[in-house]
Amino acid sequence: MSKRSLEDSEAVDVSKEARREAKRLKKGGKIKSGETSARAQPDLVATTDSGPLSKEERRASKKAKKEAAKADLAESAATSTAAASEDTEADAKAARKAARKAAKVEQASEATSTSNGHSSEASNGLAYNQDPALSALPQAEIDTFVAEKQLAIEDPKKQLYRPITNFKYLPVDEAQRAPFAKFESPTPIQAACWPYLLAGRDVVGVAETGSGKTLAFGVPCIRFIASLPKSQRNGIKACIVSPTRELAMQIYEQLVKQGESAGVKVTCVYGGTVKDEQRKTLKGTHVIVATPGRLNDFVQEGSIDLSGARYVVLDEADRMLDKGFEDEVRKIISATAPSGRQTLMFTATWPPSVRELADTFMSEPVKVTIGDNASGELRANTRIVQEVEVMTQFDKQNRLLELLKQYQSGKNKNDRILVFCLYKKEATRVEETIRRRGFNVAGIHGDLNQQKRTESLAAFKAGSVPVLVATDVAARGLDIPAVKHVINVTFPLTVEDYVHRIGRTGRAGQDGHAYTMFTDAEKGLAGALINVLKSANQSVPEELMKFGTTVKKKGHDAYGAFYKDTGDMKKATKITFD
């Protein structure tokens, strides 16, 4: 090989080595894409190790430099393409991430608009189709029913349904309709609420005690669970909360009758009994009926899972909040299904605390009010004759025995009489006094164990024991058939409790009678009692009027006279001093 050819070959090798060095530097981030590689190979410009180049050698060197530049351009283009590809892939990833985020935002928006999962459609996937026979009724007949029953319905969605005025219009099978055989027609609260509940709407029911609220929410509850495919029935699907053990047991007894024919298991849990025994009954439960404290105990320890409960009922909601159960109730609702939940509240009054709870957990609820009481103030059943007699503390015992002899003789011998006392010890003393005088009597109060309380209540309901002495644990919600008389030996702490006490009689459309012993120790409640008597068109004794008509501000059951209701308090104004 000639000397010139050897030099040309060495120049080409140098060019290749320069390209390799340039490539290595680019990978290490030393040279920017598209930058010339001349500074990486400065010795190629004018000289080689053998000295100055001739004309032909310079041509060869220039040619090698051109080839190196072309190689650099190709390398730069490849690098740019790879970078563009990486950018494109990054953009695609970013787009996918944004899409997922948008989907989550959309789901959150839907959840917000549906208020904890309650959609504008039937939240439980149910649709209510009005019976054609009900649709065919003349509008005048419906108007007459609404006027006579004093029915008021407020629906934000303006989705008005006709009340189900007859059991034959109720869209359930004959087995679920069987418990109504002894009734002529639905109660007003049932007739008004059923269409909306069957359609999956949230409902607030405001009605007097003894109006049939249990079956108003019980029938749609069982129908909802029975409509689910068997593969979706596992776990608790409905949760019903009540303030007292007795009321919880009563709801349980009513729902068991409804659920048996539909294959729906109902379980009741409450405080005052051994937890282990109640845990054994939880397996396979579809509907849980409970008091707030015991239910939260089971939820916190993991024995009960409410995450699948999509039908939630608060019965006697005002009473639970008055007793200080608000935090417990909020925990329970928060533990239920986060989507698709249908929430119901039944209450005798409509105070600010209940309204706030409804605003928090309900979505555009339908408010159903029975009676001319749109404000939701507590009122007594007008079918109950109320007698109030002012006397001294020492006259009570003799007067009580006189009343028992009067109402437990002749054809009235088997009439059920419910005697209310204020304190547990007082109830025990009155029960023993009545028993010593030869009356068949039982008791129910906090000093008795749950088994004894259950036995006493069952005997009274069956009629084997016609007289029951109780504290206010029996004042709320208990549906005891044919209670003819309620006797208040001691007036309760609030007039609200008085209304609920006397509400144990005059139920299911029947007439009732309530007798109350009033002393000057309760004179602070005289004004509120007078208002209740007047609103129910009852006579007011002159002795009661002497105590005055001033209405004492309501106290809180949990906090007593120290409770301060800030619901109607004026907003504070800021004062600035110069």
Nearest in space to 242 (alpha carbons), one of 499, 406, 478, 527 = 478
Could you report the per-residue pLDDT of 428-485, keeping only the tens digit for each? 999 999 999 989 999 888 777 778 888 888 888 888 899 999 888 776 656 676 788 9
The model carries a pTM of 0.62
Do 401 and 331 lie in one domain? The reply is no
Considering 87, 116, 143, which residue would you say is the last residue of a domain?
Answer: 87
Nearest in space to 538 (alpha carbons), one of 407, 380, 378, 391 = 380
pLDDT band at residue 241 using 50, 70 and 90 as cut-offs: very high
Could you report the per-residue pLDDT of 162-202, keeping only the tens digit for each? 999 999 999 888 877 777 877 888 999 999 999 999 999 99
Question: How big is the CA angle at 328 (ends 211 and 348), to the nearest 5 degrees?
Answer: 20
Cβ–Cβ under 8 Å, residues 318 and 349: yes
3-state secondary structure of 488: strand
Question: Does residue 111 fall inside a structural domain?
Answer: no
| H or E, element range at 389 | strand 384-390
Do 83 and 154 lie in one domain? The reply is no
Question: How big is the CA angle at 453 (ends 506 and 442), to the nearest 5 degrees?
Answer: 65
Q: Name the average pLDDT for the chain.
A: 78
How many domains in the chain? 3
Do 530 and 472 lie in one domain? The reply is yes
Question: Does residue 553 fall inside a structural domain?
Answer: no
Structure tokens at 408: 């437990």
pLDDT band at residue 53 using 50, 70 and 90 as cut-offs: low
Do 364 and 411 lie in one domain? The reply is no
Q: What CA–CA distance (Å, rounded) separates 329 from 320?
A: 8
Do 166 and 48 lie in one domain? The reply is no
| H or E, element range at 369 | strand 366-370
Do 139 and 251 lie in one domain? The reply is yes
Do 517 and 449 lie in one domain? The reply is yes
Cβ–Cβ under 8 Å, residues 418 and 463: no
Do 366 and 392 lie in one domain? The reply is no
Q: Which residues of 314-349 are buried (b: 16+ CB within 10 A; e: fewer)?
A: bbbbbbbbbbebbebbeebbebbbeebbbbbbbbbb
What are the angstrom distances between the C-alpha of 267 and each of 29, 176, 251, 287, 295?
Answer: 72, 18, 10, 6, 12
Do 393 and 301 lie in one domain? The reply is no
Question: Does residue 33 fall inside a structural domain?
Answer: yes
Structure tokens at 61: 């060197």
Q: What CA–CA distance (Å, rounded) separates 24 from 31?
A: 9
Whether 325 has a pLDDT exceeding 90, the answer reads no
Nearest in space to 342 (alpha carbons), one of 473, 213, 221 = 221
Question: Does residue 281 fall inside a structural domain?
Answer: yes
What range defines the domain where residue 286 resides? 132-370
pLDDT reported for residue 110: 37
Residue 354 sits in a domain whose CATH number is 3.40.50.300
Helices (H), ranges, 371-446: 396-407, 424-436
Q: What CA–CA distance (Å, rounded) separates 512 from 483?
A: 8
Question: Does residue 462 fall inside a structural domain?
Answer: yes
Q: What is the DSSP string of 276-310?
A: HHHHHT-TT-SEEEE-HHHHHHHHHHTS---TT--
pLDDT reported for residue 431: 93
Do 323 and 192 lie in one domain? The reply is yes
Considering 316, 335, 370, which residue would you say is the last residue of a domain?
Answer: 370
Question: Does residue 189 fall inside a structural domain?
Answer: yes
Q: What is the DSSP string of 248-275?
A: HHHHHHHHHHHHHTTT--EEEE-SSS-H
Do 364 and 408 lie in one domain? The reply is no
Question: Does residue 350 fall inside a structural domain?
Answer: yes
Q: What is the DSSP string of 504-517?
A: TSS-TT--EEEEEE
Question: Does residue 501 fall inside a structural domain?
Answer: yes
Which of 94-103, 106-115, 152-161, 302-311 has the largest mean confidence?
302-311
Q: What CA–CA distance (Å, rounded) separates 506 from 514?
A: 9
Do 69 and 10 lie in one domain? The reply is yes
Whether 379 has a pLDDT exceeding 80, the answer reads no
Whether 151 has a pLDDT exceeding 70, the answer reads yes
Could you report the per-residue pLDDT of 267-316, keeping only the tens digit for each? 999 987 889 999 999 999 999 999 999 999 999 999 999 999 999 999 98
Beta strands 266-269 and 238-241: pairing type? unpaired
Considering 341, 370, 399, which residue would you say is the last residue of a domain?
Answer: 370
Percentage above 90 pLDDT, the chain: 37
